[in-house]
Structure 1
Amino acid sequence: MENRYLQHFLYPSSLYVSKEPYVIKTILGSCVAICIWDKKLKFGGMNHYMLPNWNGNELASPKYGNIAIDKLIERMFYYGSNRKDLVAKIFGGGELLEARTGNSMLIGERNIRVARLMLEERNIPIVASSTGGKRGRKILFFSDTGEVRHKFLEKKVY
């Protein structure tokens, strides 16, 4: 089934929305990806952010959750979505660096928290999630159906 779709690999600090049928793929560790799907217009998009909140320094980029989430929602509105038709799925936020550094600063947990908080504040229901833990994830989001397939990646010891 995956072969009949156009494909887009989503790199960290980016987002992608398409009204055309796409499979959007990404790999997550402590990063979080949010898939937003319009259940009425049958299209969606995904972001992939690395850190929870923009601190006002550097560029306000989708590297930060609070920027990436609003940019993804804005892009859905640009393509004609209404807030009441949107649903979200959240993935990632693992704590993979702990073994290497001894102190991961809980980036994954903070990334998950900002996703849940911002979606709740914007009245976009979270209909599925796979977050936290000690392993990475590979995510495939089918933009025309809202289906997400994910698998856990084996943890690598550094």
Structure 2
Amino acid sequence: MRKQPQRQISLNGLKVWRLQNGIISLIFLLIIIGVFVASYYLHWPYWIGAILTGLWVLQVVFGIWLIPKIRHRIWRYEVFENEIEIQHGLIRVTRVIVPMVRVQHVDTSQGPLLRRYRLASVQISTAATVHDIPALELEEADELRDYISRLARVTEDDV
């Protein structure tokens, strides 16, 4: 069996994932507050809000602290001369090998949170799918994009 890819995404990616999940938690908390207000005025049972609060606490613990840490530990990639190997997943770990001859184009992208931490994601497009390597340092993402692009061109010229 092949050993797992060696390169990991940035540690700042962990911060971004936690911040994203924190924003989702905040929205969920506002909904819970709305349910408690509705319970007061519409005389709904309070246990609905209590159950939602318990789910919110679980979501905060797992979504902000545990899951991003596990995702960061599992997310790996490596670029070889003839292929790109990507490993990701949380419960079911997936390892994908993308042959260089299949690569059509490579992009980098940034959302506001990635930009804040000087990170970017690399998207590798083939005819059938798009593979994503999230949360790389901006310079590393640019270098990786250019490197894969060069390798894909060389491989295409060899065919």
TM-score range, shorter chain: under 0.3
TM-score, normalised via structure 1 length: 0.25
Larger relative strand fraction = 1
Larger Rg: 2
Task: Identify which of structures 1 and 2 has the higher relative contact order when contacts are C-alpha pairs closer than 8 Å and 6+ apart.
Answer: 1
TM-score, normalised via structure 2 length: 0.25
